[in-house]
A and B are shown apart, each in its own frame.
Chain A
Amino acid sequence: MESVTAVQPGIQTFKKQSQAKEVWRRFRKSKGAVAGLLMLSVIVFLLVFADFIAPYALATQQDLAIKLQGPSFSHLLGTDAFGRDLFARIIHGGRTSLSIAVLATISSCLLGSALGAIAGYFGGRIDSLIMRTLDIFMSIPDILFTMAVVFALGAGFINLLLALTLAYFTNYVRLVRSQVLNLAELDYVEAARAGGSGSTRIIITHILPNAMGVIIVNTTLNVAKIILYESTLSFLGLGMPPPAPEWGLLLADAREYMRVAPYLMFFPAMAIVLCATSVNLIGDGLRDALDPHLKS
Chain B
Amino acid sequence: MSETILDIKDLWVIYKTDLETVHAVNGIDLRIGKGKTLGLVGETGAGKTTTALSILRLLPSNTGRVLKGSIEFHGQDILGMNDGQIHAIRGEKIAMVFQDPMTSLNPVMTVGEQIAEAIMLHNEGIVTAEVDRRVDAMLGMVGIQASRKDEYPHQFSGGMKQRVVIAMALACEPELLIADEPTTALDVTIQAQVLTMIKDLRNRLGTSMLMITHNLGIVARTCDDVAVMYAGEIVESGTVEDLFLGSRHHPYTDGLFGSIPSLTSRAARLTPIPGLMPDPSALPKGCAFEARCAKRMDICLQRHPEKATEGTHCILCHLYGEKS
The 5 listed contacts between A and B (C-beta, < 8 Å) are A2-B274, A2-B275, A3-B274, A296-B17, A296-B19
Give chain B's interface residues, CB within 8 Å of chain A. Answer: 17, 19, 274-275
Chain A count of residues within 8 A CB distance of the other chain:
3
Interface readout for A1-40 with B: 1 if CB under 8 Å, 0 if not? 0110000000000000000000000000000000000000
Number of A-B contacts (CB under 8 A): 5
* Cβ–Cβ < 8 Å partners of A2 in chain B: 274-275
Give chain A's interface residues, CB within 8 Å of chain B. Answer: 2-3, 296
Please name the residue on chain A nearest to B269 by beta carbon: A1
* Cβ–Cβ < 8 Å partners of A296 in chain B: 17, 19
Complexed CA–CA distance, A3 and B274 (Å): 9
Please name the residue on chain A nearest to B19 by beta carbon: A296
Please name the residue on chain B nearest to A3 by beta carbon: B274
* Min distance, Cβ A71 to any Cβ of chain B, angstroms: 45
* Min distance, Cβ A295 to any Cβ of chain B, angstroms: 10
Complexed CA–CA distance, A159 and B207 (Å): 75
Complexed CA–CA distance, A3 and B272 (Å): 13
* Cβ–Cβ < 8 Å partners of B274 in chain A: 2-3
* Min distance, Cβ A37 to any Cβ of chain B, angstroms: 21
Complexed CA–CA distance, A3 and B19 (Å): 32
* Min distance, Cβ B153 to any Cβ of chain A, angstroms: 22
* Min distance, Cβ B291 to any Cβ of chain A, angstroms: 13
Complexed CA–CA distance, A2 and B270 (Å): 12
Complexed CA–CA distance, A296 and B60 (Å): 14
* Cβ–Cβ < 8 Å partners of B275 in chain A: 2
Complexed CA–CA distance, A10 and B19 (Å): 33
Complexed CA–CA distance, A296 and B19 (Å): 10
Complexed CA–CA distance, A2 and B274 (Å): 7
Complexed CA–CA distance, A2 and B272 (Å): 9
Complexed CA–CA distance, A35 and B129 (Å): 61
* Cβ–Cβ < 8 Å partners of B17 in chain A: 296
Please name the residue on chain B nearest to A295 by beta carbon: B19
Complexed CA–CA distance, A2 and B275 (Å): 8
- Pairs of residues from A and B, 5 with the lowest C-beta to C-beta distance, nearest first: A2-B274, A296-B17, A3-B274, A296-B19, A2-B275
Complexed CA–CA distance, A2 and B17 (Å): 33
Complexed CA–CA distance, A195 and B275 (Å): 30
* Min distance, Cβ A101 to any Cβ of chain B, angstroms: 36
* Min distance, Cβ B292 to any Cβ of chain A, angstroms: 11
Complexed CA–CA distance, A3 and B292 (Å): 12
Complexed CA–CA distance, A3 and B275 (Å): 10
* Min distance, Cβ A24 to any Cβ of chain B, angstroms: 16
Please name the residue on chain B nearest to A29 by beta carbon: B18
* Min distance, Cβ A288 to any Cβ of chain B, angstroms: 14
* Min distance, Cβ B20 to any Cβ of chain A, angstroms: 10
* Min distance, Cβ A28 to any Cβ of chain B, angstroms: 13
* Min distance, Cβ A1 to any Cβ of chain B, angstroms: 9
Complexed CA–CA distance, A2 and B273 (Å): 10
* Min distance, Cβ B44 to any Cβ of chain A, angstroms: 15
Complexed CA–CA distance, A2 and B292 (Å): 12
* Min distance, Cβ A83 to any Cβ of chain B, angstroms: 56
Complexed CA–CA distance, A183 and B17 (Å): 30
Please name the residue on chain A nearest to B275 by beta carbon: A2
Please name the residue on chain B nearest to A2 by beta carbon: B274
Complexed CA–CA distance, A12 and B241 (Å): 54
* Min distance, Cβ A5 to any Cβ of chain B, angstroms: 12
Complexed CA–CA distance, A1 and B282 (Å): 27
Complexed CA–CA distance, A56 and B19 (Å): 51
* Cβ–Cβ < 8 Å partners of B19 in chain A: 296
* Cβ–Cβ < 8 Å partners of A3 in chain B: 274
Please name the residue on chain A nearest to B17 by beta carbon: A296
Complexed CA–CA distance, A296 and B17 (Å): 10
Complexed CA–CA distance, A3 and B291 (Å): 14
Complexed CA–CA distance, A82 and B220 (Å): 92
Complexed CA–CA distance, A2 and B19 (Å): 32
* Min distance, Cβ A46 to any Cβ of chain B, angstroms: 36
Please name the residue on chain A nearest to B272 by beta carbon: A2
* Min distance, Cβ B18 to any Cβ of chain A, angstroms: 9
* Min distance, Cβ A181 to any Cβ of chain B, angstroms: 20
* Min distance, Cβ B146 to any Cβ of chain A, angstroms: 38
